[in-house]
Amino acid sequence: MQLEKPSATVGHSARMVFPILIAIGFSHLLNDTIQSLIPAIYPIVKESFHLTFAQVGLITLTFK
């Protein structure tokens, strides 16, 4: 029984890890963007939909 060379295993692992890390990083970027964008548009949403402060608070509760 022969084992694979360590260099071949490391190369294969690196090729599998980097796309996963990039996908996780991109998802985290989108999550942070949405979390910072929602509070920024509260005044617009409040006026457009005639919401109360309690309803805006419920929007905050759902996104956190």
Taking only the tens place, the pLDDT of each residue in 17-59 is 999 999 999 999 999 998 888 889 999 999 999 999 999 999 8
Looking at residue 15, its pLDDT comes to 80
Tokens of 29: 């970027």
Selected residue with higher pLDDT from 11 and 54: 54
pLDDT band (50, 70, 90) for residue 4: low
Q: Does the predicted model carry a pTM greater than 0.85?
A: no
Report the alpha-carbon distance of residue 36 to residue 48 in Å, rounded.
20
DSSP letter for each residue of 2-43: -PPPHHHHHHHHHHHHHHHHHHHHHHHHHHHHHHHHHHHTHH
